[in-house]
Structure 1
Amino acid sequence: MTSTSDFTATTSEGIRRSTDAPTSIFNGEPSRPVSYRVPSGRPHSQRVHLTKSTPAQEDDHLSAMLRDLRSELDIKKREEKILQAEISAILSQASVAPEQSRSVGLAVSRLNNNLLLVESSAKDLSSELTTIASLANNISEKVCILDEAKSRVVDCLQMVNDMTDLGTCSDGVDEAINKEEYELAAQYIHRFLTLDKAVFQFETSDQEIGDTMQHNYKVLSSAAQRLKGILEKKRDEALSTENVPQLHRFTKLFPLLNEHDAGLTRFASFVSKQIDAKGESNLKIMAAGGTDEKRRKILYADTLFHFFEGVADILDANLSVIESSYGGERLISFIAIIQRNVDDIACKVLEEFNTRRKFKQKKKMVRNWGSTNSASGNQTEQIDPMELDSLLFELCQMNANAEMYWKFVRKKFAKHLSSIGKVDDEDGKEESAEEAQKREERKKAMQHNLDLQLNRSMLGTKMQELSGDYILLEQFYMNVCIEKAIQSEQRDEDGSLTSSLIDDVIYLLRKCSKRALSCANADCVCAAMNNFAGLLQDPLLQHLQTVIKTGFPSSGFAAEALQTAQNAYNAIQHGKTDGGSEAQKDTFLTALNNSRTMMDMLAELKKSLEAEFSKFGSDERERTKLLHSLSQFDDFSRQLQNSTAHGVASLARALFKSRLKTSCETYVDLPHSLTSEQLTQYEANEPFISNFNVAIDKLFAAFEPLLIKDNYETLLLCTCSECYKHFERVIGKCQFNRFGALQLDREVRQLNSYLSAVVGWKAREKGARLSQIVSLLNVETLDEAVDVWQSSSSSRLISPSEAISILQLRSDLPHNLIVNLKL
C-alpha cells in the first residue's frame, strides 16, 4: 500500500511535470496544438489547447492551468485522507483479533506439510508404475514367443494329420475303385485335393519318408484321373439308358473331384433334353387344337401353362442334385443353361399365337386408331370387341403363366439362400455382425443375378412386349366400349333414376381390373389403372359435364316449372319423352343422377380392388405401388362431385329462385309496425309464413321422385340457402316496431322448424345469419343491442356496419343514437 509521503511526492512530481510542460512549448517547440488530459472530476469543455500566442495570453493560460492543478491537488488530498482512515480501520481490526491470523498461519503450515507428503507418495507411485511396465513388457514378449511356438506346434500337428490322411487315402483309394465304391473313392480324392500344398513341399532328411510321400502323391493323382474317366463313362451309360438314379449318383461325385463344370454341363444337357421332349409334346397338342374344345379361345395360354408345369416337375425332380452338391452359384449357371431350352419352346408358342390370332395385324390397327386417315378408321372398325375381349384374356393368362414359372424358380432358389451361413463354427462361436452383413450381401447379389437371368432371357423379353401390347389393346377396348355405352344410353322401363351408362361403365371397369390382376404383374396392373383413369376422364366425364353444363331449361313462371317437373316425372315413369325441352330436362336430371351414382359405385369398386391388391404377392413395395395407383379414382370422383354440385345449384336457380323471389316480395306489402292486438291476431291467423312453407314444400315434393337421395338433399340445401337469402333481402326493405320484430322472430322460427324437418340440422347452419339479424331486431334498447352483439362474438356472421343498418330498421329506436352507436 502506498504511504502518504510517497503519494505526496508523486503528486508533487506530477505538478512539476505539468508546470514544466508549457515552458518547452514557449521555448521554440513546434506550433501544433497540445491537448492535456482533463483531470478526473473536471468537464471536457475545460480542456486547454495551447498554441503560439502573445505573452499576455500565455500568462493568462498559465494562471488558469495553475488554478486547475491546485483544485486537482485538493481533491487528491481529500482522497488521501479517506484512504488513510480506511487503512487505520483495517489495522485496528487486525490488532484486535491476532488469534485469527495465527490460526490461518497454522492451517497454511499444515497444508504445506500435506503437499510435501503427497509429492513424496506420487514419486513412489511413479517408480512402481515404471517397474510394473517393464515387467509387463517382459511378460508380453514371452507370451508372443509362446503364441508363435503354439502356432508352429499346431501347424506341425496339422501337417502330421495331413500326412496321415494322405497315407490313408493312398492306401484305400485303389481298393475302393476296384470294389466300385465310387463315393468312398471320391471322398479320398477330395481329401487329397483339399490338403495343404505345404505337405507336398515338405523337405525331410529321412529318405524313406520322402519316398513314401512322393509315392502317395503319384498314386492319388493317378487315381483321380482314373476315377474321373470311370465316372464319365458310368454317367454316359446312365444317360443312354435313361437311368435317372444312377445319373444322379454319378453327377453328385464330380464336385468332389473339382470337376464342377463337367458334371454340371452334362447334367444340364440331360435336363434340357427332358424339357425339349416335354415342349415338343405340348406343341403337338397345340397343333392339334388342344384337348378341350371349350378352351380353344385360350389355347396358347393353356399350352404355356402345361409346358411350364412340366418344366416345374422336371426341375423339382432334378434340382436337389445341384442344390446339395454344386451350391448356389452353380445353381444360377444351371438355370441359365436350361432357360435357353425353355425360351425356345415358349417362343415357338408365341410365334404360333401371333400367326393364328393375327396379333400383329390387330396391333397395327389399334395403333392407327384415332388417325385422321380414313383407311385406318376402316381398319379399326373391323376389330370385333368380343374377339378382342377373348384375346386380351388370353394375353393375361400367358403373362400369368410366365410369372407362375418364375415364381416357382425363385422359390426353389430361396430355399438355398435361406440355408446360407446358418451353421455356426465348430467351436460354437456365434456369427459376428461383419460376417452376417457379408452373408446378407452375398444373398442379395445371388438373388439379383437370378432376377437378371430370368428378366433378360428371351421369355422375359417376350413377356414384357406382350405386357405392353396388352396395355395398348386394353385401352382401345375400354375406349370403344365406353363410347358404345354412351351412344346406347337409355333408362330402364322400371322407372330407374339412372341410365344404363353407369352399370355398363362400372361392369367394364370391374371386368378389366380383374383381368389386369390376373396378369400377376404389378407394373402391368398399375399401367392398366392409369389407362382406366384417363379413359374415365376423357369420354365419360366430358360427356356428363357437357350435359350438366347445358343446364336445366328455365321456365318463365313458377307454375310452369312445377308442371315441367311433373311432366318429367310422368315421362320417366312411362319410359318415354315428348322430345325437345322435355327431353333436355330428362337428360339433365339423368346426368345428375348418373354422376352421383357413379361416385358411390366407384368408391365400392375401389374398396374391393384395395382388398385384392392387399393380397397381391409378397412384396410390400409392389402392394404399395398398386394401392397408390387407385388414388387417380379419387381425383375423378372429386371432379364428378364438383360437376354434380354445379348442376344441382343451376337447377335450384332455374326453378326455385324466381318462385322464392316472388313469394318473398309479398312480405313487403304486409304491415310490420304492429299493435299488441295485431300480434295476437297474427298468432291465430298467420298471413305469410305458412303459405310460403306450403309453396316450398310443393316444389320439393315435385322433384323428390326425380332425383336420387344425395342429389335431392343437395337440392334441398341449395334451396334452403336461397330461402334465407331472399328472406333477408326483403327484411331489409321493411320497418319494424317491437311487436313487428316479435312477429318476425316467430316467422323465422317457423321457417327454421320446417326447413330443419325437411333438410336436417344443416338448415340451421344456413339460417344462422338470419337468426342473428332477427336477434338484433328484437332488442328493446340500444344497450341490449350492444349486449347481444358482444355475446355473439365467437360466431358472428354480420359486420358492425351491417348491424347498424339492421338496427335502423326499427322505427321505434332513436336513429341518431343508432348512427353513433359503437359496436
Structure 2
Amino acid sequence: QAFLLQSVEKAITETDSLDPRDPDQLTTTLVDDAFFILRESMMRSITTCDVNAVCAVVNNVNGVVSGEFRQALLSNLAESRRIYSNWVTHPKNLAAPAKGEHPLASLFLDQEGRLRSPLTSALSWPHSLNNLHQSLDNLDRLKESIEEAFEEYFPSDGPDKDKRVMFQHCVAAFAAAKGDLESLHANQCKEGLNMLKIHLRPMLDPLNTLDYNISEAQYADCQVNDPFAKAFNSQAEVIHQHAKAVLNPASAEEIMQQMAEQTCRRIEKAALSKRFSLFGALQFESDVRAICSFFTNVSEQALRHKFARLFEMSSLLNLEGVDELREMSSEIRTWRLAPDEIRKLLHSRSDFDASEVEIDRLLPY
C-alpha cells in the first residue's frame, strides 16, 4: 500500500505535465500515469493467485481513487480556476486562435510573457476539468480489465470459486467512487459556466428594457433590426467555440446544456414581468425560436424540453381571443406553467379581451 501511494503521489506532484504546442492534447500526463500505476498494481496482485491479496489491493486502489487522487484533482481545479477565471474575462482570449496555435497559449505565460515552468494541470483549468472527465473513462476501463483478468486466473469452476463473491464485492465499490467523480464533474461544469457567463450577461441585459407592447410597424422593424436574439446567439457561439476548442466533448456539452437551462429561466422571468401586444407576442415567439434553434444546433443531446415552458408561454401570448383559449385548454392535458403564471400572462396582453371569470372557467384548475 505504501508503494502504491508513493507511486501515485509521484505521478500527481512530480511528473504531471502538459504540452503547450499541441492543441489536440486536452489532458495532462497525470491521469494516464496514475491509472497505469493502479492497473499494474491490481494486475500483479491477480498473478499471485491469492484472492485475499487481490481484494486487499483492489480496496487500496479504490481508497486511492476516492482519497488522494480525488483530492489531487480537486486541488488542481481550485488552483487553476484562480488563474483561468481572470484570463477568461478578456474577450480576446476567447477569439479563435491562428491555425496551429494553442487556444490557451497566453494562459501558459507568466506576467513577463515567458512560458510557465513546470506547466501542469494546476495552471490550466480546462486541462484539470478534462483530467477529471478522463478519470471517469479510465475508471470504467480499469474495472473492466481487472474483471477480465480475474476471470482468467480465478475461473468459476476453480478451487477459489467460493471466494469470487469477495472480489465482486470489492470491485462493486468502484461505483461509489465513480458516482462521486461524476457529481464533481457536473459541479465543475457549473463553475465553468459561471466563469464564461461574464461574456453572456451583457447579451441578456436587453431583456430588462425590451418592449413587447409594440405596434405592427415596430414589429416589422424588429424583424430587420433584431434587438436581442441575434446578438445573444452570436456571443453564445463564441463561448461554444471556445469550450469546444479547450474541453472534451462531454464537458463542453454539459456546459452548453446548463447554459440553455439558465437562459430559459432568465427569459421566463423577464416574460412574466412584461406587457405584450399581439405583435409583441409574435416577436417573443421569434426570439424564443431563434435561441432554441441555436442551442439545438450546437448540442449533441436533446434539449428542446428545456424550452417547453417558453413555448407554452408563447402559445398563450399569441392567442387572439377566448375561443382560441378554449381550444388550447382542451388540447393541453398537463400544463407546465402554474395557474398564476397562466393568468399573469393572459392579463399581460394589452389587446386580449377576456374577463377573469372566462379565464377561470377555461383553465383546468
Q: Between the two proteins, what is the percent identity of the paired residues? A: 24
Distance of 1:513 and 1:556 partners within structure 2: 39
Q: Which residue of 2 aligns with 1:484?
A: 10
Distance apart, 1:556 and its partner CA:
9.9
Distance of 2:87 and 2:208 partners within structure 1: 20
Distance of 2:11 and 2:320 partners within structure 1: 66
Distance apart, 1:641 and its partner CA:
0.9
Q: Which residue of 1 aligns with 2:342?
A: 803
Selected match of 2:181 from 640, 644, 647: 640
- Secondary structure, in 3 states, of the residue corresponding to 2:49? coil
TM, length-normalised to structure 2: 0.84
Distance apart, 1:684 and its partner CA:
4.3
Mapping of residues 802-821 of structure 1, within 5 Å: 802-814=341-353, 817=356, 821=360
Q: Which residue of 2 aligns with 1:771?
A: 311
1:499 aligns with 2:40: no
Q: Which residue of 1 aligns with 2:166?
A: 625
Selected match of 1:753 from 253, 270, 293: 293
1:303-327 CA deviation, whole Å, 9 max, x = no partner? xxxxxxxxxxxxxxxxxxxxxxxxx
The count of corresponding residues between Structure 1 and Structure 2 is 346
Distance apart, 1:565 and its partner CA:
4.5
CA RMSD across the alignment:
3.2
Greater length-normalized contact order (CA 8 Å, ≥ 6 residues apart): 2
1:449-485 CA deviation, whole Å, 9 max, x = no partner? xxxxxxxxxxxxxxxxxxxxxxxxxx10110011111
Letter in 1 for 2:340: S
Selected match of 1:529 from 30, 37, 58: 58
Distance apart, 1:553 and its partner CA:
4.4
Distance of 1:641 and 1:782 partners within structure 2: 49
Distance of 2:210 and 2:290 partners within structure 1: 17
- Over 3 Å counting, the alpha-carbon distance change for 1:596 and 1:558 in structure 2 is closer
Letter in 2 for 1:727: I
Mapping of residues 307-322 of structure 1, within 5 Å: none
TM, length-normalised to structure 1: 0.39
Distance apart, 1:576 and its partner CA:
3.3
Q: Which residue of 1 aligns with 2:228?
A: 688
Distance apart, 1:674 and its partner CA:
3.0
Mapping of residues 218-617 of structure 1, within 5 Å: 475-488=1-14, 489-493=16-20, 494-495=22-23, 496-549=25-78, 552-553=81-82, 560-565=89-94, 570=102, 572-573=104-105, 576-578=108-110, 586-615=123-152, 616-617=154-155
1:318-367 CA deviation, whole Å, 9 max, x = no partner? xxxxxxxxxxxxxxxxxxxxxxxxxxxxxxxxxxxxxxxxxxxxxxxxxx
Distance of 2:88 and 2:108 partners within structure 1: 23
Distance of 1:813 and 1:606 partners within structure 2: 62
- Secondary structure, in 3 states, of the residue corresponding to 1:520? coil
- Over 3 Å counting, the alpha-carbon distance change for 1:744 and 1:603 in structure 2 is same
Selected match of 1:666 from 206, 222, 232: 206
- Secondary structure, in 3 states, of the residue corresponding to 2:320? coil
Distance apart, 1:537 and its partner CA:
1.5
Distance apart, 1:721 and its partner CA:
1.2
Decide whether the 8 Å contact of 1:724 with 1:767 is kept in 2.
yes
Distance of 2:39 and 2:84 partners within structure 1: 41
Distance apart, 1:739 and its partner CA:
1.4
Distance apart, 1:575 and its partner CA:
9.0
Distance of 2:142 and 2:309 partners within structure 1: 41
Counting helix residues as a fraction of each chain, which structure ranks higher?
A: 1
- Over 3 Å counting, the alpha-carbon distance change for 1:559 and 1:744 in structure 2 is farther
- Over 3 Å counting, the alpha-carbon distance change for 1:681 and 1:585 in structure 2 is farther
Distance of 1:555 and 1:738 partners within structure 2: 45
Q: Which residue of 1 aligns with 2:240?
A: 700
- Secondary structure, in 3 states, of the residue corresponding to 2:108? coil
- Over 3 Å counting, the alpha-carbon distance change for 1:558 and 1:700 in structure 2 is farther
Distance of 1:790 and 1:550 partners within structure 2: 56
- Secondary structure, in 3 states, of the residue corresponding to 1:813? coil
Letter in 2 for 1:810: R
1:229-272 CA deviation, whole Å, 9 max, x = no partner? xxxxxxxxxxxxxxxxxxxxxxxxxxxxxxxxxxxxxxxxxxxx
Letter in 2 for 1:713: E
- Secondary structure, in 3 states, of the residue corresponding to 2:89? helix
- Over 3 Å counting, the alpha-carbon distance change for 1:731 and 1:589 in structure 2 is same
- Over 3 Å counting, the alpha-carbon distance change for 1:818 and 1:564 in structure 2 is farther
- Over 3 Å counting, the alpha-carbon distance change for 1:509 and 1:650 in structure 2 is same
- Over 3 Å counting, the alpha-carbon distance change for 1:761 and 1:635 in structure 2 is closer
* Structure 1 runs not aligned, ≥5 long: 1-474
Distance apart, 1:611 and its partner CA:
1.6
Distance of 1:593 and 1:537 partners within structure 2: 18
- Over 3 Å counting, the alpha-carbon distance change for 1:786 and 1:647 in structure 2 is farther
